[in-house]
Chain A
Amino acid sequence: MTLDELPLGATARIIAADWGALVPEEAQRLRALGVEEGAEVRLAYRGVFLARDPIAIEIARMTVALRRVHARAMQVETMPSGGTASAA
């Protein structure tokens, strides 16, 4: 599963990232924010009205906004704890 497919409110760990699929500056910016392999993230917000883009994830004590194209490059595995069951 990729990060953009994660249900809203679910928590997951990033297990792999396809950095080559991203523009180098974007990949670097994501890593700088800690959005990389091993990170635990929670999908907190997604889109406006019916759109599913952009998304906002909670990571460490930050909320980070990114687009689906970025999230699609992140392979995640869901984690049981932490996520409040409010999948949309």
Chain B
Amino acid sequence: MTRQTMIAALVGNPNAGKSALFNALTGARQKIANYPGVTVERKSGRMLLPSGEPVELVDLPGSYSLNPSSPDEEVTRDVIFGRMAGQAQPDVLVIVLDASNLEQHLVFAQEIIELGRPVIVALNMVDLAERDGLVIDAGALSSALGVPVFPTVAVRRRGLADLTAAVAALRDRSLDAEPAHRPHVTAPERRMLARQIARGAILSETAQHRIHTQLDRVLLHPWLGPPVLLALLFVVFQAVFSWAKPLQDGLDNAFSGIGDLVRSELPASLLRDFLTDGVIAGVGSVVVFLPLILILFFFILTMEATGYMARAAFLMDRAMAGVGLSGRSFIPLLSSFACAVPGIMATRSITDPKDRLTTILIAPLMTCSARLPVYTVIIGAFVPSRQVLPGIGQQGLVLFGLYVFGVLGAMGAALLLRRTVTKGAASGFIMEMPKYQLPTVKDLALGLWQRAYVFLRRAGTMILSVTVVLWLLLNLPRAENPQDQVDSSIAGHIANGLAVVIEPIGFNRDIALALIPAMAAREVAVSALATTYAVGASDDEAQGKTLGAQLKTHWSLATALAFLAWFVFAPQCMSTIAVTRRETNGWKWPAFMLVYLFGLAYVAAGLTYWTAVAFGLG
């Protein structure tokens, strides 16, 4: 043996239940990363053979063929042929078949078997097949294919012991065995053979998969489907805002509590301030996102696991096609109304790379919850609270307008991007609708844990370093009088320069000074303005109110409106930037996002200001 650990790979069509099988075989011993140079997720984990010997198991992206039509399929092909950098060629391939969709899945299976590499077949989801009235003869399938076949039910852990034993047996044999020579056939022949083999292996079969069809008859109904989707999304958003808010506030309080504790325990020094306002507040600003990410992903993963996600994509495809996207972009964009971070993370389910990139780039235009504190303060101060129509207040109308403004901006941006930087063969919308399934708690928990880990580990480190840099900019060099700290800091000097640039769009130096720390997160703009206008108040609410009065004396209405327009577009959220970097595998696209969104923000704020001034509101 040349290598210590043997490598096995799971390979199969999408919706074959590969991920569930992977989870069942590896448990929580998983590693998630990107394949080098592409944004395809590499999932690997440790599987134990009956002897206790560990095997590295790689879950290859779902593919229909070795002749790739997507980056996912390219990765699958390259790994199987041992051409993927940083990934040794698998010693054993485990083909995963959906037992209730043999005719389709056997096409790719034959292509893999023809390679003559050590192969075993996991005939997965036999329970669902039986539910559909399908009984399959694994022995007949095995002799037709010429490779061992094992029936499995990944979610119930059935057949796993046989499968791992077979992997062990295959390893012992494959060491001295010559690669088997198998005849190569053309794709149409393969499809015909698949049909024949499937018919030969199916012992009995009832007419149709019933539960599946009956659910779809309602959920895909042209008039019933959309209201059901809408109702579901309403519940999701209710949950996100009613559950996440208290948790976020709790975490926020916990971190300021820790900060206070450190402040009271340590002697006053720059180091103490660095620890409390830089590091602890920085870690806090990362961690407060967790409840939102976990709650949103709980729903997203459930929708994916049950098979409903594909139905939602079907229902929304027409609307999304209008701006050059597909139905798959809908859920990520909708999630971005809560927070662009989970929204961008959810774009992984978009198969077409150009569609996915466009969705990532426009996600920050959806009005996320962090903009609300900014909007509320400004609207509260400058927009009179009177009724336009019975039940419809002017303030609410302006807020609604800002949401619409964001959506329109996103649509316009998508149209433009699709014709320029993300131009390319339209992916259209071709997708297999998976069968409905009950999700398992374990798979959901694992999925949630992975999102949390990816966010805290990959995005968190960057967010923390930016927070620390921002703190240093605001606190160095030290001023003699604490009152003048912000003005005499590096950030203060930057603000002087920035003020010149943003003066034409009606922004003063105070705003410039607030925009710098607000790079961390938009809502920081409120507290930064409060500091600038030296408003002493205990809690955020009271601060907001008195701040409003202060703003009214310092800003014109035109400036306030321009400030609102700025925040519709400005990408002032380093978590979004960090997640974009992670999801696009480099700095190119986050940099592009910063430039184009700041450009839009500048133009939008400028147009608003100039128009307002022209109407005599300056």
Contact = CB atoms under 8 A, between A and B. Distances in A.
A65 B216 CA distance: 12
B191 interface: yes
B226 A65 contact: no
B253 interface: no
**Interface size grouping (class) on chain B:** 35 or more
Contacts of B315: 48
B493 interface: no
A67 B187 contact: no
Given A25-B69, A46-B222, A48-B225, A67 B101 contact: no
A29 B431 CA distance: 9
B107 interface: yes
A32 B63 CA distance: 9
Contacts of A47: 222, 318
B174 interface: no
**Interface size grouping (class) on chain A:** 20 to 34
A60 B226 contact: no
Interface stretch (B421-429, B500-508, B516-524): B421-429
Contact of A60 (B70, B101, B425, B429): B101
A60 B314 contact: no
Interface in B22-76: 64-65, 67, 69-70
Contacts of B132: 61
B431 A65 contact: yes
Contact of B429 (A24, A25, A63, A66): A66
Interface string B307-326: 00010011111100100000
Interface string B126-167: 000000100000000000000000000000000000000000
Interface string B97-112: 0001101100110000
A45 interface: yes
A15 interface: no
Given A29-B430, A65-B430, A60 B317 contact: no
A69 interface: yes
A72 to B, nearest CB: 12
A49 B310 CA distance: 18
B432 interface: yes
Contact of B318 (A26, A51, A56): A51
Interface in A37-63: 44-51, 53-54, 56, 60-63
A62 B104 contact: yes
B426 A61 contact: no
Nearest to A45: B220
Interface in B79-118: 100-101, 103-104, 107-108
Nearest to B195: A60
Given A25-B69, A25-B70, A31-B187, A61 B429 contact: no
Given A53-B318, A54-B327, A66 B428 contact: yes
Nearest to A49: B222
A6 interface: no
A32 B69 contact: yes
Contacts of B223: 49
Nearest to B351: A29
B40 to A, nearest CB: 16
A9 B128 CA distance: 25
A54 to B, nearest CB: 5
B595 interface: no
B433 interface: yes
Contacts of A24: 69, 425
Given A29-B64, A48-B315, A70-B430, 10 more contacts: A23-B428, A24-B425, A32-B69, A33-B430, A33-B432, A36-B188, A49-B223, A60-B101, A61-B132, A63-B432
14 contacts: A29-B64, A32-B65, A32-B69, A33-B430, A33-B432, A56-B216, A61-B100, A61-B104, A62-B432, A65-B314, A65-B431, A65-B432, A66-B430, A70-B428
Interface of B: 64-65, 67, 69-70, 100-101, 103-104, 107-108, 132, 187-188, 191, 209, 212, 216, 220-223, 225-226, 310, 313-318, 321, 327, 425-433
